[in-house]
Structure 1
């Protein structure tokens, strides 16, 4: 898939024998760029993620991200429309063509709520959480973990349907660590690929003999739920102040009180944010709890103290 490419003229390019117009730049990261394209044939908008591959290892990582997208066809996991690898002026780039979601990320929605001095209604939190859990459950059932779940990696479409994105940090859910060298390898990898303020405690100081599993995602999921409730992650302030996140995650997360959300939602959040991974639930259990809370949740719940 995706070996055909030409930049036909300024402002237009071809991927997989289909032409697209370049509209504008959307985002820029350390080693990637995201551009907005419009399909010439279908008139739809797409996001083109261009990953700079400086070496063979980076190219392999981009290839892995492509393969992760291709593994899943799920309404809550962002699909891959097309891809190709491009060599431009001696440098290799991976191009991933993705559907464009105009509403943006969950984080951008939370920022807007914060700016307005508003909050997210409980029913909306549960609706979004249900979709995230559905996508995550599918990933876990296939034996993988996302490893970098955070509000900026969840897109929301016009119906508030969440889509998990940025699958570049995904790997096998179960990692058996045998010895200090392997532990340091996993720890270094996590430091590079798993965002610090959403990273599970067991990934900060990896023990010499242990098993890392999909419950790293449950911790991150708890951080996402907290951010929907309080419009910032539980460790965002710790990180911003320059204090030790590694130390902070060893303690139980305290839910700010008074809290206007239901006891059920607060209890669910607490169950996910347990520093010992063995005591965290599986995503299937979380999904069941969310479904139960949705049946009991009031229709209006807009104000937080």
Structure 2
């Protein structure tokens, strides 16, 4: 595990501007760099003793991954000591003011509209370019879906959320743990939950992106009307 208390104090560099939203592990804020005014997003995770291996995995992947225009930029992890409330981890990332592509599609559907196919193609091209970069660096995302593809106000398409991503080594080019969001999961990933001799590789991300393409066109992935557990049984068939 990373010695989080050895990380720099975020308040020396970053100042919170406003709240963006709440995630699984804490609150997300817009922050400004005190030196140059550049803005970023920060996941504030507290207390530190509740931070599990998913945060550790995301940190390790983000700090080792070379920059790519279709993968969210990582500005660093910081530790804010607080003897009363417990220490906070600040995961500082590129700010994507455009929101997720799921939000975009849902907003259009609420107004009786659908995403234009040319825009869907543009988003998928960006996401596929980001996945190609991950796979070249031996990383499987394992949770590709509309909520994990963010847009910038300049039209950028960014893959985000590497909490369940997996790093492959030369001695282990396949995985056998079942993770992801049920409706987007590839059959071979689901099979690992049911039969321990199954495994999968980076191609599972391609399946998930295909399901995301359907989500962008229809507003939901296939089988979205089913309970997630029932969907897990239907997808491999």
Per the TM alignment, residue 30 of structure 1 is displaced from its structure 2 partner at its CA by 3.1
Q: 1:248 to 1:163 in 2, by over 3 A?
A: same
Name the larger-Rg structure: 1
Structure 2 unmatched ranges of 5 or more: none
The equivalent position to 1:5 in structure 2, one of 2, 9, 15, is: 9
Q: Tell me, what secondary structure is at the counterpart of 2:16?
A: strand
The equivalent position to 2:129 in structure 1, one of 131, 134, 139, is: 134
Structure 1 unmatched ranges of 5 or more: 7-12, 178-185, 252-305
TM-score normalized with structure 1 length = 0.67
Per the TM alignment, residue 66 of structure 1 is displaced from its structure 2 partner at its CA by 1.8
RMSD, aligned CA: 2.4
Q: 2:42 aligned with 1:48, yes or no?
A: yes
The equivalent position to 1:221 in structure 2, one of 194, 197, 209, is: 209
Q: Which structure is richer in relative contact order (CA contacts within 8 A, separation 6 or more)? A: 2
- List aligned pairs for 1:1-305, cutoff 5 A: 3-5=7-9, 13-14=11-12, 18=13, 20-52=14-46, 55=49, 58=52, 60-70=53-63, 71-88=65-82, 89=84, 91-173=86-168, 174-175=173-174, 177=176, 186-187=177-178, 190=179, 194-206=180-192, 207-239=195-227, 244-251=230-237
CA distance in 2, matches of 1:243, 1:90: 37
CA distance in 2, matches of 1:49, 1:209: 37
Q: Tell me, what secondary structure is at the counterpart of 1:46?
A: strand
Contact 2:16 2:29 in 1 (8 A): yes
Per the TM alignment, residue 87 of structure 1 is displaced from its structure 2 partner at its CA by 3.9
